[in-house]
Amino acid sequence: MEAILAKNELSLGRILVVDDNEMNRDVLSRRLSRDGFNVYTAENGVSALTYLYDMDIDLVLLDIMMPEMDGYEVLEQMKANQRLRHIPVIMISAVDEMESIIRCIKNGADDYLPKPFDPVLLKARVSSSMEKKRFHDQEVRYQQQLSEFNEHLQEKVNEQVREISSAQLSTIFATSKLAESKDPETGAHLDRMREYCKILSIELSKTPEYGSQITPQFIDVIYAASPLHDIGKVGVPDEVLLKPGKLNSDEWAVMQTHSVIGAETLRAVDEKHPGNEFIRMGIDIAHSHHEKWDGSGYPQGLSGTDIPLSARILALSDVYDALTSARCYKPAFSHEKSKAIILEGDAVHFDPMIVKAFLSTEEQFIRIKDLFRDEEK
């Protein structure tokens, strides 16, 4: 293998001359070098491919008839290789090899150069092929720059979406806290609720019954949306919401409206800004978290799987939290007593699969209950 470098400091490109005839290699190398190209030479196809795999070559002048590996095979391997296939190839041939030239053109060669070499024809065909290579390289660079720009733009968009989502979640959580603040006895209720819902969702995602419904996105969304469950309590009069004793039938009817008020409030948001997944799940949760598996709940009396899955998950979490938290009308029940009450509601109040998930994760429930304790009044 040989290389003849152009005297110019700025080369017009790299050309590989492949010919088993030393005189032909020498003639082409010197002429092309004088024209400003860096020229590399190979005496057979094997050496040529070594150059092509190791270096960035812009153009190949390729003889057809060579020992070890002829021009046909070199051309075939180049066109089969993703990195080499775009390098222009000019076939070197004698005048009486036109059938071979046609075969090479059909197989992907760009041009041919007859022997003996005419300087004007050589320069014209090399210049044309090099221009084609430059256009290709320019397109590749443009596509790379465009891809990098798009990746950068996508990352900026994702960053802004994350910032917006974070702001939205903070706003929603703050609004939910506002609803919660009307009931001074609920304390860290919202913090516990989203942790309970997350734990149950992860456990249910392992089951064949719910594995296809509970995706990682579902888990993220229910964690974000669970604080919306009682947002409708903002619309419940204080004399009902804060009454220390048992509610009468009229007051209980008013209290039950909080699920409809919350859902309607969130539907108004969804109508103005449609497509937000956690708002849609928030609607399901706010509206249906007091429905029961046997159909005896409110506000619609839904039963079984007609109740949205997110609301069924939240229902058990909400009851567990109410049982294990102190209220003005009751002390906090122990985990064991609360567990027993939940088991009584299996397939009555609660989805049996969610009860099983609760039993499988009760140690985690206990840890969360202890971690997010209510402040003592």
pLDDT per position as a tens digit, 122-133: 888 898 888 888
Supply the pLDDT for residue 93. Answer: 80
HSE-CB of 358 using CA atoms within 13 angstroms: 28
> How far is residue 61's CA from residue 15's CA, in Å, rounded to a whole number?
7
347 or 9: which leads in pLDDT = 347
Q: Which of the listed CATH numbers 3.10.50.40, 3.40.720.10, 1.10.3210.10, 3.20.20.70 matches domain 182-371?
A: 1.10.3210.10
| Statement: residue 30 has pLDDT above 60 | yes
Beta-bridge partners for 90: 61, 111
Yes or no: say if 100 and 114 are a contact pair by the CB < 8 Å rule: no
Q: Which residues of 49-69 are buried (b: 16+ CB within 10 A; e: fewer)?
A: bebbeeeebbbbbbbbebeeb
Digit-coded pLDDT (tens) for 134-178:
888 888 887 888 777 777 666 665 565 455 455 555 556 555 555
Asked if residue 216 has pLDDT above 90, the reply is yes
What per-residue confidence (pLDDT) applies to 348?
97
Q: pLDDT: is 226 or 100 the higher one? A: 226
Q: What does the pLDDT read at residue 134?
A: 87
> How confident is residue 270, by pLDDT bands cut at 50, 70 and 90?
confident
Tell me whether residue 206 is exposed, middle or buried, using C-beta atoms within 10 angstroms of its C-beta: 0 to 12, 13 to 18, 19 or more.
Answer: exposed
Give the residue extent of every domain in the chain: 2-144, 182-371
% of the chain beyond a pLDDT of 90: 47
Edge-to-edge, what's the strand order for the sheet holding 38-42?
Answer: 2-4, 38-42, 14-18, 59-63, 89-94, 111-115
Q: Report which of residues 301 and 113 the model is more confident about.
A: 301
230-249 mean pLDDT: 85
Strand, helix or coil for residue 348:
coil
Strand 38-42 relative to strand 14-18, pairing? parallel
Q: What is the pLDDT of residue 166?
A: 58
Q: What is the DSSP letter of 116?
A: S
The pLDDT of residue 185 is above 80? no
Contact status, residue 87 vs residue 40, Cβ threshold 8 Å = no
> With b meaning 16 or more CB within 10 Å and e meaning fewer, what string describes 250-285?
ebeebbbbbbbbbbebbbeeeeeeeebebbbbbbbb
- The dotted CATH code for 2-144 is 3.40.50.2300
Residue-wise pLDDT tens digits, 57-90:
999 999 988 888 888 999 999 999 988 999 999 9
Which pLDDT score, from 0 to 100, does residue 288 have?
A: 97
Mean pLDDT along residues 282-296: 96
Instruction: Work out the average pLDDT over 87-100.
Output: 80
Residue keyed to tokens 């110019």:
8
Mean pLDDT of 284-297: 97
Residue 226 CA to residue 223 CA, distance in Å, equals 6
Q: For residue 40, is pLDDT > 80?
A: yes
Confidence tier at 95 by pLDDT (50, 70, 90)? low
> Considering only 187-201, 207-221, 233-247, 342-356, which range has the smallest mean pLDDT?
233-247
Residue, of 70 and 272, whose pLDDT is higher: 70
302-330: average pLDDT? 93
Residues paired with residue 63 on neighbouring β-strands, in sequence order? 92
Band the pLDDT of 345: cuts 50, 70, 90. Answer: very high
pLDDT of amino acid 176: 59
Contact 77, 18 (CB under 8 A): no
Q: What angle do CA 80, 86, 90 make, to 5 degrees?
A: 95
Average of per-residue pLDDT values in the chain:
85
CA 105 to mean position of chain CA atoms:
44
Q: Note the pLDDT of residue 9.
A: 44
